[in-house]
Each structure stands twice: as structure tokens, then as C-alpha cells.
Structure 1
Amino acid sequence: MKRPNILLITSDQQHWDTIGALGAEVHTPNLDRLAREGTAFTRAYCPNPTCTPTRASIITGQYPSQHGAWTLGTKLLENRRTVGEEFAEAGYRTALIGKAHFQPLRSTDRYPSLEAYPTLQDLDFWRSFHGPFYGFDHVELARNHTNEAHVGQHYAIWMEEKGFADWRQYFLAPTGTMDPRIAHTWPIPEEIHYDAWIAERTNALLEQYKEEGEPFFLWSSFFDPHPDYLAPSPWDAMYDPEKLTIPAITPGEHAANPPHFGQTQEEQPDFSRLQETGQAVHGYRSHLLPEGERKQLVATYYGMISLMDKYIGNILDKLDALGLADDTIVVFTTDHGHFFGQHGLQYKGGFHYEDLIKLPFLVRYPGQVPAGERKTAIQSLVDLAPTFLSLCGLEIPASMTGVDQSGVWLGRQAEARDHAICEFRHEPTTIHQKTYVGRRYKLTVYYNHPYGELFDLELDPGEARNLWDNPDYGALKSELLLKFLWAELGKEPMPMPRIWHA
């Protein structure tokens, strides 16, 4: 039997409810196509609601507390076993196009980083470097979101090859010269937007793999709709902010929550008690925004998603044109969710609502994965690596602690897990929490703190009523704490086999 190919397509920081076919207001005809031709899993979760930890989990099949890249600014060590290495040793071609974010923007002698300054913008280096990198034998990388000054690497080289030697005018100082006061409309020509780059380079590899007749594991890693909120014309004006449903806080919902929730609704909150390393405490600030700005942010966010959807469609069309679609497992998801007004919050941080930790998750494999179905079987991004290997008939290494979801994807079993675990550790001790998500209930615990969260997702899907301190739910909380401890024990790596001696 021919071994299937793997095409993983990811966005960055996309709310779970932003696919048109699943009822959202956003226009996504190509993601809708994937939903029609495959299965949409409506309860998929990230292992951490920030980039580096979750992206490292995708390629290692381990949780952040296991692979070591526990927060932004950390590095996934090169000695961690990755899914790309497993595929490469099995004869697959492996590639990553777009965002990696396995390493920090600052390099040190102890933790050198290829994704750091000044290497990040040494274009001569990147002209000659395409891997290997964490098990990918070919990489083409970038690091910026929209107009960030971090632009460089293979993306900048591609723009120059396209004849845009003046690309710096579309990016912020000190790299570029773009006016930082410009909002929502990114003056960059769409033809050199990084969505176009990712699609073009992905398709070039697909053509190469087809011509050479080699199986592949290819990750197309998009940057949008991660803020800042910027989109080129006409996508910046595709949605009328006055006609969109704009999420908002439920009055009084933070009264029973841990204190940092309510502080986000203050004009000048004091989070100094959480400062431990001197680094920024991610998401711990005022989340208050004027009403008009909140509406426009949602409109631009949707425009970014629709633009990305166009170029995902280009990739899907190329699979069809090359005759690869039937032999290729396509998965679309994101690294974590996003707040755009839900619970009065913006962007992300230590707030484990479904908006931030639940994900869009589509799987297509013609003739194998049921088409047009929606399933509530719990998924986790830590499961991607072992599931990909299993579907390709390859052995899953004992180091991978995610579960094999192949039977669920193929419609042969109802579920492979009854819970998901999400970790968030942004300071060594002061910001350190974990969430247990079960079939119905959800529990969040904080290191060295007596407060927490308990939500009934069936009766309170909007998570507006924290039951942690409700005496009527004391027995349930005790039961869930025990299940959480069992889940922590269960996600430890399998031990070496025991060898008996005479």
C-alpha cells in the first residue's frame, strides 16, 4: 500500500469559531471546502496558549513541561527527538515553510539561536541555509507578524527576488521605514505578502515531490491572523465593523475569578506582584479599548483570515492539479486561540477560556477520513506527531506522550482521550497554571494559590460562572482534582521495558 503524504497547514492565533462552514461570520471558502471534504473536530485544544511551547509540542509530541521550551523566549533544544526525524529516517522528504518560532530572538552562548538577531537579518546566511532544522531537511523561514521589524530570513530574500528591493518601506523601524501610526491597512502589495510567499514556496515543493515520486511531510505555517491587525487592500475593508457580532464581557463575570481577571478591566492595573524574572508578563495589562476600536479590530482580524484562506486554497488547488490529493492527509489547525472581546479580553495571556485554548481543527484524507462530519472527540496538538506516524505505518517513539488519534480520524473509534491538558507558565513560579478539560467540566489550578476555576461547559458554555468556590460543587471539584492528577501521571513518557534477571 502506498504511504500517504502529510500536509500540515497552520495559522497563528486563530479563534476556534472563525470558519464560515462551521457557522462563523467570516468568509473562508477554502477552509469550508476542507470541512466538507473531511472531518471537523470541534473540541481540539492546544497544550499551551503561546507560540514556542505549542509549536515545539507539535513536532516533539510532548508537552511543554516535558520538551523544555516552556514559554516565549525559550529554546527547543536540538537534542529533542522530532517527528521530522522519524519521517526522514523512513524515507520521507520533510519541509517547513513559514513560521517556526522554535528559538528566541536573542541568542546566548549557552542557548544559541538561528532565529535571533543579527543572524535573523543576515540574508547571505539564509541564502545558503535551508536546513536541516529540527528534523526538517528543507526550511524557508520568516519571523515577523505583519509589519514587525523582525522581518528577514528567506522571506526577505524572496521579496528581493520578486523585484521588490524596497521592501523595507512596508516594515517598522529599525529594520524598515513604515509609519507606525498606520493602522489596519497594510500598504504592502498583496503579491509580496507572506501568505503569497508561503503558498508559492509550498507549491514549488509539491511540484518537486511529485516529479521525484517521494513521500513528504510538509508543514505550511502561516503567520496570520496574529496581531498586529493589518491587511493589504482590499482585505482590510472586506468586513463592515458595524455589521459584525462583537464579543463583550458579561457584567460581573470576573467577580468569582482569580484576581488577575478583574484587573484586566482596570485602566492602570498593578501586576508588579507577578514580576519575577524582569521579563514582560504576557497579557497582564489593561484590556480596555474604545468601542469603535474593538469593532475595527474584529473586522481587520476577519480580513486577515479571509486573505489567508485564499492562499490556502492555492495550495489545495495545487494538490489537485498534481494528482496528490487522494494520497495526502491534510490537517488544518492553529497554534492557539485568540481573544477579540470575549470576557473583556484582547489577544492572549494567562486566561484559559475556550476562546484561547480551543482550536479550529480540520482533517481530510479522501476515502479514509469521513467527509462532511463534525465530531466532538477531544483532540490535542500534542497528538499530531504520533497520529501522523501511525497513519503512515511508522513506529511511535516512546518519548512522544501524545496519543494516537488515527482510529478517531478514520472513524473507527469514538475517542482516544477523555480530557486535554493545557499548560501556561510565563514566570517560573508566579505565573504557572494548568487546565484539565474533560468531556463536560473544566478545571484550572494555579501554582501556590488557593484560587482556581471550575466551569460547567454544558450548562455554561460561555464560562461566565466560575464554580470554584461554590460549596454545592465541592465534591465535584475534589473529583476533578483527582482526575487532573491522574492525567498528569498519565502523560509521563513510557518507561523503558523491565528486564528480568535470574
Structure 2
Amino acid sequence: MSRRPNILLITSDQQHWNTIGAFQPEISTPNLDRLARQGTTFDRAYCPNPTCTPSRASIITGQYPSQHGAWTLGTKLLEDRHTVGESFQDAGYRTALVGKAHFQPLKSTEDYPSVEAYPILQDLEYWRNFHGPFYGFDHVELARNHTNEAHVGQHYALWLEEQGCAHWREYFLPPTGTMDPTQTYTWPIPEKYHYNTWIAERTNSLLEQYKKADDPFFMWASFFDPHPEYLVPEPWDSMYDPEQLTIPSLTPGEHDRNPPHFRLTQEEDPDFSHLAETGFGIHGYRSHHYYEYGSKSRLTEYDKKKLVAVYYGMISMMDKYIGSILDKLDELGLSEDTIVVFTTDHGHFFGQHGLQAKGGFHYEDLIKLPFIARYPGRLPAGKRTNAMQSLVDLAPTFLSFCNIPIPPAMTGIDQKDVWLGNADAARQHALCEFRHEPTTIHQKTYIEQRYKITVYYNQTYGELFDLEADPGELRNLWDDPGYEQLKAELLLKYIWAELGKEPMPMPRIHHA
């Protein structure tokens, strides 16, 4: 216990908060359950943005998207931003990322180059020779595809070829591959070639290297599942009987009090053109009666059930490979000196409120996260707490545990004392931003223990929910006359929160 701890961050992608078997009996996650028994589960953890790039950039910068600049999908984290990996490197740590980065977009321009973009994404000779540095990670092994997406390439494609899978393109969509886009739920890729296998294998290899060299490390094992498309290999695709699962659905009339875009999602052919500003896709602003992937067919009653079963199967399969990483820590004798955190970048809808996937709908389903931290002998084991967490807190908290100075520009909160059980809370609220177009889709949500409020740029509508009386968020109180005083108080608290998160790049050092 005398040496500084290692840090192992394990993340899933787009995982609903209530999908850990220890707390939800309809799903099996024995390895995440193990982590929960051995560590502390935080039941009120939130993302700073419910989409991938902004939230992931917040993890490594300790800043909100409105501060680090990667404000939506299709943007990138500018290379001049300080990252937590750079602080670890300065302190003598090895730093690595295996799996999904998504710090950059799929398109590159002269002004904003991206190595996660076509065509370099699939230039395997480039990736054979490139392993970093990349945003503070001295070693990276990357992929860019969720399940069978055509974006497959980078180090994952190289690994597939090294494994003898010469026909790997058969498992991915055109134009890269030849898989039929109408095929869903069962992914024909053998489990030994699945990216879960790759991530666990490569993470464990790096753990062995660091152990042999006796190097301290900050490592991120970044899984892609259960982000749709809903595809998983056998037998995981049939692990759950859809008829035995609780299937979320729309409550009639629940969107009557909500902003207009909620109601539009329940129409057959809604018109969101008034929100389209940049000409790029606006995630979630569509009819949610249709499957968002593959052939985009209309969801039948069977589909609404089956996709939940496959989503759970994806999580259970991922859990197996998370277990192999935890086992490797034990095997190498690293568990006692390694802080392990499991979480995700944001949540997911699989029928809640009549919604699918994600978008500008700040329900708890989308912005609240599974979040477990383990540090044997230091963090309380088997504990659950409502102490609020945000992904922006990870960077400063990791640095604090390792006695590395926290850069003053980081606006996340050091949660060390809360994690250790020495303090009840370090923050009284969380903030979630969603700016998907420059002006037309721009909203922020303030969440405290009981209430949450969402405001929209240049709009008089909003949302106010009482999470204690209405945990399912079915009754929007924004326009309720009986809650005018509460709304005013929450709006003031939101303003205070915005003022409170302004960065201070340096301390004040003199009176003038």
C-alpha cells in the first residue's frame, strides 16, 4: 500500500444504469457483481453529455464539453487540450488505451485532421506503425466500429488478420464488408474474433508488460458494447427469453407536458427540419417507431422485446471479458495496488418513454450511469451510496489518489474523500449538457438529489421533475402553477452551478 496506485478504467458504451445483475435480477453480470461486492457502487453518477465524443473527452480532460471544445458528435478534442494522461506521464506512469477512443470524427479536414477518419482509418500499414502518442496515452490500440459497422479498421483489423481471420470483412457492412444489413440480433462473427476478446487480450498483455517492468500505469480498457446495432454472437443472442423480461414502453399522455420534440418522436413521419442547422445528422430526432440501424424497419412487438434481450446479451458477453481482465489483475498480484473503476460514457433508451437509443431527452435512463469503484482495503466493499458523481470528476480524483497535482483548469471535483468513505458528498448537483446544433439543439440539465430541471437555449419550454415522487419522470412540472416557486429556485441554483464550474487556469498569486 506504500506505492502510488495504478489506475484501470473499464468502460462500456451506451449502457443503461440499471443493467448490473447485482441490482437487477433479469440480467446476469457475475464479474460486475464481483466488482460491486469488492468495491463501492455509486447510484447517482451522471455523464456531462449523453453522446460519445463530448463525454469521452470530458473523462480525459476533467472538463465539461462547453469547456474542452468537443461539444458534439462530428467534432474533435483539439490536441492542445491538457489531458489526464499527460499528468500521469509527467509523474512517471505508463499510459494506455485499448478499444474505443472516439475523440475525433469520421471525417478529416485540412483545418481539423482526424486519424479516426476515412481513409486513414482503414490504412492498416499506418496502424501497424502507429501506437501513439495520442491524447496523453503513450500506447493505443484502437477500433472505431460498433458491432458490424463499416468503420472497422485500425488495430482491431490488424489483430483479426493476425488471428488468421482472413475473411473478416464478411462480418461487417458494406462498403467495407459484405454482411447483409438486414441481418440483426445474431452476429455471425465467432466469439474468438469479437472485439471483446481483442480488448481483453490486449489489455492483459499490457498488464503483463507493466508488471514485468514494475511500472505504475494508467490504463483505459474501452469496450464498444452494448452500443447498438443490437448484434451479439451465439449463444449470447439467445441467452435471454424476451418473454421473461420487463419491456419498457411509453406511458400514454406522458409527453403532453413535454417540449415539442418529445411528442414528435412518437409520430410516424415527424418533421424536424426546423432544428436542422448544420446539415449533419441529428441523433434521436426521428420517429422512434423505427429501428435506427440496418434496414431501419418499423419495430414490431417482437422487435421491442428481442432488442432488449440482445442488449442484455451484449452486456453479459462483455461482462465475461471484463472478468478476464479482473482475473489477470489477481494473477499478476496487481489487484491490491490498482484502483479499478467501471462505468460507461452515457445511458440508453430501449423503450423507456417510447424512445430508442439517445438524443436530446435528458431522462435518467440516458444521463445516469452504472458506476463502481474498487481499491481493496481502502474503498469500502459492498457499499452503495447516493453521493453524486460526474465523469468530469474521474480525472481529478485519479490524480488525487496518486498524489499528482490536479491542473487548475480541470473543473471536475476531487471525489477522493467520498470514495474512501471519509465524506458523505463532494458535490450537491450534477450538470449535463447537450448541444447538438449551434443554436437549435442546445440544452442543459441541473440535477440535485430530489429535483432536476432542463433549460433550452432561446426557448420558454423546459422540464422539471421530482425524482422522489415521480422516479419514472412521467409528469413534467415545468408549467404547473403549483411549482412556480420551486422552478424559480432551481433556475437560480442552475445559474449558480454554471458560475461555479467556470475554470480558473491559474490561482491568484498576488493582490494586483
Category of TM-score, reference length = shorter chain: over 0.9
The equivalent of 2:348 in structure 1 is 338
Q: CA offset at residue 439 of structure 1?
A: 1.1
The equivalent of 1:183 in structure 2 is 184
TM-score normalized with structure 2 length: 0.97
The equivalent of 1:164 in structure 2 is 165
Q: Which runs of 5+ in 1 are unaligned?
A: none
Q: CA offset at residue 64 of structure 1?
A: 0.1
Task: List structure 1 segments (4+ residues) > 4 angstroms apart after TM superposition.
Answer: none
The equivalent of 1:91 in structure 2 is 92
Aligned to 2:444, the other structure's residue is in SS state strand
The equivalent of 2:228 in structure 1 is 227
Are 1:307 and 2:308 counterparts? no
On the 8 A contact 1:145/1:228 being kept in 2, the answer is: yes
On the 8 A contact 1:69/1:76 being kept in 2, the answer is: yes
Q: 1:478 aligns with which of 463, 472, 488?
A: 488
CA distance in structure 2 between the aligned counterparts of 1:436 and 1:500, rounded to whole angstroms: 34
On the 8 A contact 2:48/2:58 being kept in 1, the answer is: yes
Per-residue displacement from partner, 1:344-377 (whole Å, max 9, x unpaired)? 0000000000000000000000000000010000
Q: Partner amino acid for 1:50?
A: T
Are 1:396 and 2:406 counterparts? yes
Q: CA offset at residue 131 of structure 1?
A: 0.2
Aligned to 1:109, the other structure's residue is in SS state coil
CA distance in structure 1 between the aligned counterparts of 2:44 and 2:107, rounded to whole angstroms: 35
CA distance in structure 1 between the aligned counterparts of 2:507 and 2:93, rounded to whole angstroms: 29
Q: Partner amino acid for 2:397?
A: T
Per-residue displacement from partner, 1:363-422 (whole Å, max 9, x unpaired)? 000000000010000000000000000011111001100000010000000000000000
CA distance in structure 2 between the aligned counterparts of 1:417 and 1:108, rounded to whole angstroms: 39
The equivalent of 2:363 in structure 1 is 353
Percent identity of equivalent pairs = 77
Q: CA offset at residue 24 of structure 1?
A: 4.2
Q: Partner amino acid for 1:496?
A: M
CA distance in structure 2 between the aligned counterparts of 1:260 and 1:305, rounded to whole angstroms: 30
CA distance in structure 1 between the aligned counterparts of 2:143 and 2:509, rounded to whole angstroms: 47
Q: 2:376 aligns with which of 349, 354, 366?
A: 366
Per-residue displacement from partner, 1:81-128 (whole Å, max 9, x unpaired)? 000000000000000000000000000000000100000000000000
The equivalent of 1:35 in structure 2 is 36
Following superposition of structure 1 onto structure 2, how do residues 185-204 of structure 1 map, counting pairs within 5 Å?
185-204=186-205
The equivalent of 2:476 in structure 1 is 466
Per-residue displacement from partner, 1:203-225 (whole Å, max 9, x unpaired)? 00000000000100000000000
Q: Partner amino acid for 2:262?
A: F
Q: CA offset at residue 137 of structure 1?
A: 0.2
On the 8 A contact 2:349/2:366 being kept in 1, the answer is: yes
Q: Cα–Cα, structure 1 residues 500 and 398, in superposed 2: closer, same or farther, change >3 Å?
A: closer
Q: What CA RMSD, in Å, does the superposition of the two structures yield over aligned residues?
A: 0.8
Q: CA offset at residue 48 of structure 1?
A: 0.1
Q: Cα–Cα, structure 1 residues 282 and 417, in superposed 2: closer, same or farther, change >3 Å?
A: same
Q: CA offset at residue 495 of structure 1?
A: 5.1
Q: 1:375 aligns with which of 377, 382, 385?
A: 385
The equivalent of 1:8 in structure 2 is 9
CA distance in structure 2 between the aligned counterparts of 1:242 and 1:155, rounded to whole angstroms: 35
Q: Which runs of 5+ in 2 are unaligned?
A: 290-298
Q: Partner amino acid for 1:74?
A: T
TM-score normalized with structure 1 length: 0.99
The equivalent of 1:77 in structure 2 is 78
CA distance in structure 1 between the aligned counterparts of 2:213 and 2:450, rounded to whole angstroms: 48
Aligned to 2:252, the other structure's residue is in SS state coil
CA distance in structure 2 between the aligned counterparts of 1:315 and 1:495, rounded to whole angstroms: 37
On the 8 A contact 1:18/1:24 being kept in 2, the answer is: no
Per-residue displacement from partner, 1:152-193 (whole Å, max 9, x unpaired)? 000000000001111001000100011111110000010010
CA distance in structure 2 between the aligned counterparts of 1:29 and 1:207, rounded to whole angstroms: 24
Q: CA offset at residue 250 of structure 1?
A: 1.1
The equivalent of 2:499 in structure 1 is 489
Q: Cα–Cα, structure 1 residues 42 and 500, in superposed 2: closer, same or farther, change >3 Å?
A: closer
Q: Partner amino acid for 2:93?
A: Y
Q: CA offset at residue 501 of structure 1?
A: 6.4
CA distance in structure 2 between the aligned counterparts of 1:267 and 1:114, rounded to whole angstroms: 38
On the 8 A contact 1:17/1:24 being kept in 2, the answer is: no
On the 8 A contact 2:42/2:389 being kept in 1, the answer is: yes
Give the paired residue count: 502
